């Protein structure tokens, strides 16, 4: 049905759609520690794949993931600790259908393994008036499936409208998930392209990244600063976007075979200070971390980083002085987790309610005050752009460790706790 396409149009930016799929692996019901994003070729067509080592999905959860009107993540909201990002149960559908016309989901949990398909091509061909989701499940113990008419019809639909043309091919793909014990593999095919057939996403320019060239078009919502023509790298590079997607990164992301170096932004600034926001309707003060960016390569990467339940919603949002067509406020970064605000359905902005407007006004004032205090008439360009502390994430336990002063800042690609030369800081945790 056309509803699948209409539902996907909330994502005007391709990476926001990809983030929805990443969210599914991160959320506590799946709780993956590793996610692999890659491209494969099938029948001379490029497909985009997401593979995680999470808990996997039973048939009931898989059908709810691929259907509309279900959201079971609310059961985790009353628990402390790892909170789900999604609220509506719509993110996977809107995200996947924004990137491609069709998606196959292979998943394996402790007792069953299943494959399900959400396909605009299939639904158009059968002229469906409702969303039909073919799904087949096998028992892990004996490898058998139900042998009824519905199951046979579902296998026929999946093999006819995907690149897996036989049941053996489906089982071979599920066999790969055995190496992870449990997990899920999502394959997006018939990727979005223009009228000439050129894919929206660029897989060729950088073999270790996925680029979004359309972002280079003029963004009419951005602040006009005549002397600055750079565009933030996260808008063009999926690797850069993934590196800042989570405030406290808990999940390793591998993009096209290479690990994404996640950034602990609040610990990567110079002249760091903590401010507080305490309206009467908040139980406890909200922490806002301020500092100057140490990024010499992209001068436009400053502003407010606004996270919700650990997930980035708005990046480098310009506030206060930063909205003016001059250099006031340039270089100032603020980081804040605003769980009291409500993200809109595409998770790229917040509902513009009274709490949002009040908070943004206070944020503008606080950002200006930080700038006035730190600048104090001095020339920012003359200062060393170096972070107050150096932090590294252990590839084994995923904890962040603070490193001592004077250490070489060119860290190896793989870093472990035992490499910290300062025993007193070897097990100082941040995440």
Does the pLDDT value for residue 6 go beyond 80? no
pLDDT band at residue 389 using 50, 70 and 90 as cut-offs: confident
pLDDT for residue 130: 84
Task: Sketch out the chain's domains with CATH numbers.
Answer: 1-191 (3.30.565), 265-377 (3.30.230)
CA atoms within 13 A on the CB side of 95: 26
Q: Which residues contact 143 (CB under 8 A, 6 or more apart)?
A: 171
Contact of 97 with 120, CB cutoff 8 Å:
yes
Length of the chain (residues): 431
pLDDT for residue 218: 37
pLDDT for residue 424: 67
Does the pLDDT value for residue 291 go beyond 70? yes
Does the pLDDT value for residue 87 go beyond 90? no
Q: β-strand 311-317 against 303-308: which pairing, if any?
A: antiparallel
DSSP secondary structure of 114-176: EEEEEEHHHHHHTT-SS----EEEEETTT--B--SHHHHHHHHHHHHSSS--SHHHHHHHHHH
Across 22-45, average pLDDT: 91
What token pair was written down for 126? Answer: 């059968």
pLDDT for residue 11: 82
pLDDT in tens, 124-163: 999 988 889 999 999 999 999 999 999 999 999 999 999 9
pLDDT band at residue 52 using 50, 70 and 90 as cut-offs: very high
Across 54-76, average pLDDT: 77
pLDDT for residue 370: 97
**Other Cβ atoms closer than 10 A to 297:** 7
pLDDT for residue 429: 57
pLDDT for residue 421: 86
- H or E, element range at 372: helix 354-375
pLDDT for residue 217: 46
% of the chain exceeding 90 in pLDDT: 62
More confident residue, 406 or 306: 306
Q: β-strand 332-337 against 303-308: which pairing, if any?
A: parallel
Across 283-304, average pLDDT: 88
Does the pLDDT value for residue 89 go beyond 90? no
Across 159-187, average pLDDT: 95
φ, ψ of residue 67 in degrees (nearest 5): -110, 175
pLDDT for residue 227: 39
């Amino acid at each position: 049905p056309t509803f699948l396409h209409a539902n996907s149009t909330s994502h005007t930016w391709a990476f926001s759609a990809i983030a929805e799929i990443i969210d599914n692996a991160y959320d506590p019901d799946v709780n993956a520690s590793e996610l692999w994003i890659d491209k494969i070729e099938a029948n001379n067509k490029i497909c985009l794949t997401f593979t995680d080592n999470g808990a996997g999905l039973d048939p009931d959860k898989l059908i709810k993931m691929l259907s509309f009107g279900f959201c079971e993540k609310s059961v985790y909201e009353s628990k402390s600790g790892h909170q789900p990002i999604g609220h509506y149960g719509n993110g996977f559908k809107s995200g996947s259908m924004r990137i491609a016309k069709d998606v196959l989901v292979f998943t394996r949990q402790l007792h069953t393994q299943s494959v399900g398909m959400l396909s605009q091509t299939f639904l158009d061909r059968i002229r469906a008036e409702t969303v039909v989701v073919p799904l087949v499940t096998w028992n892990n113990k004996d490898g058998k499936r139900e042998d009824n008419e519905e199951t046979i019809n579902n296998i026929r639909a999946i093999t006819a409208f995907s690149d897996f043309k036989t049941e053996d091919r489906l089982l071979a793909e599920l066999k790969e998930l055995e190496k992870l014990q449990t997990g899920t593999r999502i394959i997006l095919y018939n990727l979005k392209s223009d009228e000439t057939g050129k894919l929206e996403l660029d897989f060729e320019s950088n073999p270790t990244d996925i680029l979004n060239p359309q972002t280079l078009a003029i963004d009419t919502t951005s602040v006009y600063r005549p002397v600055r023509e750079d565009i933030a790298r996260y808008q063009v590079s999926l690797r850069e976007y993934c590196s800042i997607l989570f405030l406290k990164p808990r999940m390793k992301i591998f993009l096209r075979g290479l690990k994404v170096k996640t950034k602990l932004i609040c610990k990567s600034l110079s002249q760091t200070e903590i401010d507080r926001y305490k309206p009467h309707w908040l139980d406890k003060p909200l922490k806002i971390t301020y500092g100057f960016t140490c990024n010499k390569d992209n001068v436009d990467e400053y502003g407010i980083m606004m996270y919700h339940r650990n997930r980035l919603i708005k990046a480098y949002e310009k506030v206060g002085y930063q909205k003016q067509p001059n250099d006031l406020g340039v270089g100032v970064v603020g980081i804040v987790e605003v769980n009291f605000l409500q993200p809109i359905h595409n998770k790229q902005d917040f509902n513009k309610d009274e709490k949002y407007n009040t908070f943004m006004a206070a944020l503008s004032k606080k950002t200006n005050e930080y700038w006035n205090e730190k600048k104090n008439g001095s020339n920012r360009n003359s200062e060393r752009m170096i972070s107050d502390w150096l932090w590294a994430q252990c590839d084994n336990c995923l904890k962040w460790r603070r490193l001592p002063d004077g250490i070489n800042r060119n860290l190896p690609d793989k870093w472990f706790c035992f490499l910290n030369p300062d025993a007193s800081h070897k097990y100082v945790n941040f995440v």
